[in-house]
Amino acid sequence: MKERFLRRLGALDRRVVLGLMTAIVVLAGLESWLLVLRAPLLELRSQASIQADLAAANAGGADTSARIERLTAELPRLEKTLGGEQSARSDDGTILFLMDVLGRAGTRQSVSLGSVRPGARRIVQGFEETTYDIEVRGEYRNLYQWLHEAQAGVAPLVVSGFTLRSIDAGPRIVLALKLAGYRPVTGQGGSQ
């Protein structure tokens, strides 16, 4: 059988034999690439990528300290923005401010401001919550427009609750509103 194979191989053109031998060598090289060399080369690339990432993170240390300094300098401005104008006011000053803003909005919307009273204070997740109880009277549509305008006027304060009740059988109703303001607790660990 070996002689038969060699005779047939000898009968073939030299170029065909050379092509078959080249194909066998290429296939053997491809198989060795897939089985032996591919995994270590992928691991080498992965290690190089990790090393580059670690070098970039290590070089970013100076950027991090500069960023901390910048954010520390920006903190007072952000606290003022969070607390708004009301954070610097006393309770009396805040009530006067609310009466002024809500009263002017009420005049424009034909709503009468009944009362503005400070509510409870409590610590909620590191913030001091201060509430204010507001009572206004007017027609429903006017109260709606007043509430929309008043919310913009007392921006850092948010509406935390409200109730509507009828005065009599007429179109006028009473809106009892609870506003809440939040400011960071300073010097305490404040939690509820």
pLDDT at 87: 47
pLDDT at 125: 85
- Parts of the chain with a pLDDT under 70: 60-63, 79-91, 187-192
pLDDT at 27: 95
Q: Does domain 82-184 have CATH number 3.40.50.300?
A: no
pLDDT at 191: 45
Helices 140-153 and 91-109 pack at an angle, to 10 degrees, of: 140
pLDDT at 187: 58
Map residue 37 onto helix, strand or coil. Answer: helix
pLDDT at 65: 76
pLDDT at 192: 45
pLDDT at 133: 92
Q: What is the pLDDT of residues 20-48, one digit of tens each?
A: 999 999 999 999 888 888 888 888 999 99
Q: What are phi and psi of 133, to 5 degrees?
A: -100, 125
Question: Where exactly does CATH 3.30.70.60 map onto the chain?
Answer: 82-184
Q: What number of CA atoms fall less than 13 Å from residue 13's CA on the CB side? A: 3
pLDDT at 189: 46
Q: What is the pLDDT of residues 57-68, one digit of tens each?
A: 777 666 677 778
